[in-house]
Structure formats: C-alpha cells, structure tokens
Structure 1
Amino acid sequence: MNDLYFDDVVEGFRFETGGRTITEADIVNFAGVSGDFHKLHMDAQYAERHTPHGERIAHGMLVVSITTGLIGRSDFMRAIETSTLGVKELRCAFKKPVFIGDTIRVSAEIIGRSESKAGNRGTIQMLRKVLNQHDETVVELSWFATLLKR
C-alpha cells in the first residue's frame, strides 16, 4: 500500500488484524511497567474468591496497548505513517474482561472525517472493536488522528 494522506482516507474503509493471545507474562510485565499491581490482576486466589470473574483479568490499558501493536502492523497504519501528525483523542469503553489465554484481534473501520479550518490537514475517526476468540467485543475504542493533506 502506498502512502496515504487525509484526502485518500474514505469513510467505511474496514480491516481486521491478526490475533494475539494474552499471557500471564503480559500481565506481570505490564504491572511492572505501569505500577498497577491490583489484586484483580495479580492475585489468583483473591480474583477467584472475591470477583465476579472468578479469575484474574488483564489490565484494561494492557489490552489497549496490545491493540495499538496489532493495529500498528496493519497495511493501513503503515500507509498513513508519513502523513500522521498525531493522535488527537482516544475514547475507551471496556465491555467484557480479558482473561489469561484469551486471543484478541481488532476489527477497525473509518467512521468519520473532518477537515481542519487551516485546510492543510484533517482528522479521521476510527472505530476499533477488540474481539476475543468468541467474537465478543471486549473493548471499543474511538481513535481520532490528525493527518496531513496532499
């Protein structure tokens, strides 16, 4: 795929990423990096006895971070890399827990575009649905990025 700019991105464009399985090492490493050692993520006995999930769950922001990696390897994201000025906004909705051993992937769609007043750039909105191995939406993200025009 060639370099894409704001002018090239159309509403309705869709793509899906490959999958990635969440491991205990992912959770432990993320806790170390983030400092979030909540029992919900780190203590198997606590999670089993005191949560509705019955087992440890992945950090929501870990899932969002892995989503960024999955999406970042896509042809579309590589194609807009040259024209991307930055992420303007990110909205997250956590729908279902993600467990150790779950395999997640991302279904993405461009759902909005708006030109800047300056006229030399625009913002695209991408809806990213993070799906587990059962095709259940576990996280929904609205991602807004500013891209240069040609």
Structure 2
Amino acid sequence: MKLLGEGFRWNDLEVGQRFRTFGRTITDTDIVNFISCAGMLESLFVDAEYRASHSAIPGRPAPAALVYALAEGLTLNATAQGTGLAFLHMELNVSGPVLQGDTIHVEIEVMEVRPASKGGRGLVRTRNSVVNQRGETVITYTPLRLMEGREV
C-alpha cells in the first residue's frame, strides 16, 4: 500500500528537476514564538519604538533564521518525509527581508545526485530559493542531504 506524503528517494531524483512548495504566511505569532524560544531578543525584533527610529527596514522583520526554518519545514514535508537521513552541509545567502504578513514558498532545483559510499544511500544537493508573494527571492540555500535509496 502506498504511504501518502512519503518523500523522494535519492535514486528517484535527477539533476535539473524542479519543485515548488505550498506557501506559508509569516505571522506576528511566528516571530514572537521564534525569538522567545531562540533567545533572539534583539531590539529590532522586540522593541517597536527602536524599530521605528533605527531600522532600515519598514515593518516588522522576521529573523532570517525563522524564515530558513519555515522553508525547511515546507521543503522536508514535501520532499524528504521518511526518506531523509541526515543534513550534511549548506551555504545560505540572505538577499532581502521577510516581514510579518509576507507569504513565502520554496522553489527547489536538484543540483547533484550521487550514491553514498555504502548502504544503498545517496547524496542529494538542491538549490532552495525562498520566494515571497511578490516573486522576490529572499533567501537561497544549498542543502546536501543523505537520503534513502530505492531498491533497483
């Protein structure tokens, strides 16, 4: 019986394949919960008066770490649920702010697929672009993941 929502196996993927996740709106509650949990109690995130007089960004910004974490949730639920084994490496670039009320989605492109050294596992590197509702890429990151394989 097919397990619904199961992620890809490394040998199901090919370089050049592209995918898009559903969207996720960043709420005030998301920002407050994240900065409280992570201890990111920086004035930019907790002090509206400071933000009004010192911030280069109009509106309430979300920490890039929060945006990345939400992007990973959107990505993993769509691509690696039950098949991802380890997160090994990443490069991350932030190119624009995400504000309370923005909606993000992730556009994923498979960049590298190769077998691991043992166990029928494989390594998959993707380029994940976090895109807002205006079509602007705000974060790009390139995770390398160890993934289960499909028996051939």
TM range (shorter): 0.7 to 0.9
| Structure 1 residues 42-57: aligned runs within 5 Å | 42-57=46-61
Q: In structure 2, what is the equivalent of residue 61 of structure 1?
A: 65
User: Does residue 90 of structure 2 align to residue 90 of structure 1?
Assistant: yes
1:3 Cα deviation from its structure 2 partner: 6.2
Structure with higher strand content = 1
TM-score (norm. length: structure 2)? 0.86
Aligned pairs, how many? 146
Q: In structure 2, what is the equivalent of residue 30 of structure 1?
A: 34
- Say if 2:44 and 2:51, in contact at 8 Å, map to a contact too: yes
User: Does residue 108 of structure 2 align to residue 108 of structure 1?
Assistant: yes
1:63 and 1:27 map into 2 onto residues whose CA distance is 10
Q: Quick check: 40-49 or 92-101, which moved more?
A: 40-49
Secondary structure of the corresponding residue to residue 73 of structure 1: helix
- Say if 1:93 and 1:141, in contact at 8 Å, map to a contact too: yes
Q: Quick check: 22-31 or 52-61, which moved more?
A: 52-61
1:19-72 per-residue CA deviation (whole Å, 9 max, x = no partner) reads: 111111111100111000111112122122112113331011100111122113
Q: In structure 1, what is the equivalent of residue 144 of structure 2?
A: 144
User: Does residue 68 of structure 2 align to residue 77 of structure 1?
Assistant: no
Look up the equivalent residue of 2:128 and give its one-letter code.
R
- Say if 1:44 and 1:55, in contact at 8 Å, map to a contact too: no
1:41 and 1:11 map into 2 onto residues whose CA distance is 39
The two structures, once aligned, show a CA RMSD in angstroms of 1.8
1:14 Cα deviation from its structure 2 partner: 1.1
- Say if 1:125 and 1:142, in contact at 8 Å, map to a contact too: yes
2:15 and 2:119 map into 1 onto residues whose CA distance is 19
Q: In structure 1, what is the equivalent of residue 19 of structure 2?
A: 15
- Say if 1:16 and 1:107, in contact at 8 Å, map to a contact too: yes
**Following TM superposition, where does structure 1 have runs of at least 4 consecutive aligned residues deviating by more than 6 angstroms?**
none
